[in-house]
Structure 1
Amino acid sequence: MANFAYGYVSPVTRDGVESALSLLTIVFADGRFRTLFCLVFGAALVIQYKAHNKGVDNLFVIKSRLCVLGVFGVLHGYLLWPGDILLNYALSGLLALLWLDAKHRLLSVALLTVLPVILLVILSILVSEPGFDRSSAEYATLLSSLPVSYAELLSENISHFNMMIILIPLATLWNTLGLMLLGMELYERGWFSGKAFVSGKMMWAWWWGSVLASLLIWSNNETILGQMLETLNWLAAIPMALCYLILMQAIHQLWPKLGQVLAIVGRYSLSLYLLQSMVGILVFHFLFPATRVSFTRVEYFGFFLALTLLQVILAILLDRAKKTGPAEYLLKRCVQRLSHM
């Protein structure tokens, strides 16, 4: 959130902690949670469809919810953070509804997850950008162009989010759709209730493949090869996300109280996601703009942990007070209005 255009720019000298956090981020975080959320989102569509009577009315409610979510995404992308995921989720979810009653989805999953990656690899070859660090002239130019007022931030957001909207139908929409279809298929086959979709040995092989691919990307992250491999990280994220699903099931069984906390956070996920953007923009652009220059991975990681803890505490307090999250409340009211039109 400190810098959308170029992301994190490495310092000139990197210590062991910086390098270790970089490696851990690529192996366990980059694209992993996005993939996990897409899988869960796809499963949730099936659950919503089956929880109520199948039919036109139920589909209308689901479609209405997705349309309102898309509007939230557009407002979020333009007003706060152009890296919004809500619009992409909404559009992909609307397309995923076409597969609700499909018997076989795995071929569609394979095509939709792999083909966009191939396209982006080709684009990365055609349009390669040289890497730079904090001592370069490019970084100095970047610092001089950072917004210092909300008007400047809004202008920058409009430009960046317009580019994101163009990119959605080119690649990210289809990859996200493929992941949602995989989530739907996993739910239908009982993965979310503990049934094995593949053997344990196969799962371990996929996990090690994901780790090795991430290590290859990390070791070449400042080369043209690394830029090409970075897109392949979308595929490497899938086995790790599946492992996270297994881990969440284990947590729910072994530590039910911790599993309950995760469920509570999930109920307020939309409000917490928007809060995360508001806090990030407020801190990095208005309260402490100098952090955009001074923060390293260590400080960003500390900020992430503090913000995550704040979000968990807030979700628990809202749950104990039996309050609906503001974004969830607004989403529900908008869907109700659409249903009565």
Structure 2
Amino acid sequence: MRNQYLDSLRGFALLGLSLTNLFFMANFAYGYVSPVTRDGVESALSLLTTVFADGRFRTLFCLVFGAALVIQYKAHNKGVDNLFVIKSRLCVLGIFGVLHGYLLWPGDILLNYALSGLLALMWLDAKHRLLSVALLTVLPVILLVILSILVSEPGFDRSSAEYATLLSSLPVSYAELLSENISHFNMMIILIPLATLWNTLGLMLLGMELYERGWFSGQAFVSAKMMWAWWWGSVLASLLIWSNNETILGQMLETLNWLAAIPMALCYLVLLQAIHQLWPKLSQVLAIVGRYSLSLYLLQSVVGILVFHFLFLQPGCPLLVSSILGFSWH
């Protein structure tokens, strides 16, 4: 029997992921390129996105993924056969990820989740996971901060020559898109074992721990003071990052938003508990999205590629359309 609350969490996270992925559908390498001067609305939306969206939905999805692994493991008799079933599903997920990354969109998360999930199986019967969680979530961030110091990328805006070059080089046929995808996804595969694999694994282990402590069944109680502490901690850290986003320091701090995403994701987890209890109809709608998360995740890539690379073929149109549809989500 499916866990409706878990499905609603998965659906909520998927909807958020789709919105944050929007820009990178048009331009995977750089995402959203800022105008020369931002107006007040754009700055406000950029701030809201940094605080409430960037990395938050990915983190929540990882927590749910870890909890789901424990549920699958405990739903059947523990043993080699049960692990074989789980491993087989993860391998199939990884195959979908490879196909998705090369053929549709190189920002794929399925391969990373499959590999992290396979490693997470080693902690299924572990009694204490929090030390592993701390190491696996913090160390990759430190590594990426160091890399950002060593390899800093110069920023550019829509008036720069680099932006004009970007517009002229956007793929206008599937053959060009496929060639670009292969190049980008190869780089993503290299990045997985360097950092993203371990951070994702740490978040999955945290999801396992939270499940066993009753967070996904409504048995855990979180005080209002604790909730506000998480919320303000995440908000203040994100404000620091956002206020420096145009500086070299901001580039170094950007990866720290991975850590700021964790307390906000926990707040979302508690929020969805309240929605599940107070607005069950809304929870049911989110649960429907969650049940078909894989199909809908792949569908968002198909729609994004069709809109940004085939329906609008003139140079610059993909970036223009992405700006109209979703500039607030970068």
TM-score with structure 1 setting the length = 0.82
**Cα 1:219–1:335 shift into 2, 3 Å:** closer
Distance change (3 Å), C-alpha of 1:335 and 1:188: farther
- Aligned residue among 8, 11, 16 for 2:40: 16
Deviations 1:155-211 (A, max 9, x none): 000000000000000000000000000000000000112233664323321211110
Measured after TM superposition, the shift of residue 58 of structure 1 is 1.0
CA contact (8 A) 2:66 2:117 kept: yes
Compared CA separation, residues 155 and 11, structure 1 to 2 (3 A): same
Query: Structure 1 residue 154: deviation in Å?
Result: 0.3
Cα RMSD between the aligned structures? 8.5
Q: Deviations over 1:74-104 (max 9, x none)?
A: 0000000000000000000000000000000
- Whole-Å separation in 2 of the counterparts to 1:327 and 1:68: 37
Equivalent residue runs for 1:171-186 within 5 Å: 171-186=195-210
Residue 38 (structure 1) aligned to one of 48, 62, 66: 62
In structure 2, relative to structure 1, the CA distance for the partners of 1:129 and 1:184 (3 Å cut) is same
Distance apart, 1:330 and its partner CA: 33
User: Structure 1 residues 129, 273: closer, same or farther in 2, change over 3 A?
Assistant: same
Residue of structure 1 equivalent to 2:216: 192
Contact 1:68 1:335 in 2 (8 A): no
How far does residue 128 in structure 1 lie from its aligned partner after superposition? 0.6
For 1:181 and 1:272, the matched residues in 2 are separated by 25
Contact 2:35/2:157 (<8 A) preserved: yes
Go from structure 1 to structure 2 and tell me whether the alpha carbon gap of 1:70 and 1:118 turns closer, same or farther (over 3 Å shift): same
The CA deviation string for residues 124-178 of structure 1, in whole angstroms up to 9 with x for no partner, is 0000111111000111111111111110000000000000000000000000000
Q: For the residues of structure 2 that align with 1:340 and 1:262, how far apart are their CA atoms?
A: 20
User: Structure 1 stretches of 5 or more lacking a match?
Assistant: 286-325
Q: Cα 1:329–1:148, aligned 2, differ >3 Å: closer, same or farther?
A: closer
In structure 2, the gaps of 5 or more residues are 1-24, 310-314
Q: Give the C-alpha shift of residue 13 in structure 1.
A: 2.9
Residue 332 of structure 1: aligned partner: 321
Distance in 2 between residues matched to 1:327 and 1:135, nearest whole Å = 13
- Tell me the matched-pair count: 301
Name the structure, 1 or 2, with higher relative contact order (CA <8 Å, separation 6+): 2
Alpha-carbon distance in 1 for matches of 2:166, 2:128: 48
Identity, % of aligned positions:
93
Bigger Cα displacement from structure 2, 81-90 vs 258-267:
258-267
* Residues 1:329 and 1:251: Cα distance change in structure 2 (over 3 Å): farther
Tell me: CA distance 1:68–1:327, structure 2 relative to 1, closer, same or farther (3 Å). farther
Residues 1:165 and 1:100: Cα distance change in structure 2 (over 3 Å):
same
Query: In 2, are the aligned partners of 1:270 and 1:327 still within 8 Å (CA)?
Result: no
Distance in 2 (CA, whole Å) between partners of 1:334 and 1:210 is 27
Q: Distance in 2 between matches of 1:262 and 1:35?
A: 17
1:210 corresponds to which residue? 234
Of residues 47-56 and 109-118 in structure 1, the stretch that sits farther from structure 2 once superposed is 47-56
Q: Retained in 1: the 8 A contact 2:49–2:329?
A: no
TM-score by length of 2: 0.85
* Mapped partners of 1:47, 1:279: distance in 2: 32
Distance 1:76 1:143 in 2: 24
User: Does structure 2 conserve the Cα–Cα contact (< 8 Å) formed by 1:27 and 1:211?
Assistant: yes
Deviation at 1:56, TM superposition (A): 1.2
In structure 2, do the counterparts of structure 1 residues 339 and 150 end up closer, same or farther at CA, with 3 Å as the change threshold? closer
Asked if the contact 2:167/2:316 (under 8 Å) is kept, the reply is no
Q: Cα distance 1:328–1:97, how it changes in 2: closer, same or farther (>3 A)?
A: farther
Question: Once structures 1 and 2 are overlaid, which stretch shifts more, 204-213 or 114-123?
Answer: 204-213
Superposed CA deviations along residues 218-262 of structure 1, whole A, max 9, x for unmatched, are 111111111111000000000000011001111000011111111
Specify whether residues 120 and 81 from structure 1 end up closer, same or farther in structure 2 by C-alpha distance, changes over 3 A only: same
Instruction: Indicate the larger mover: 40-49 or 9-18.
Output: 9-18
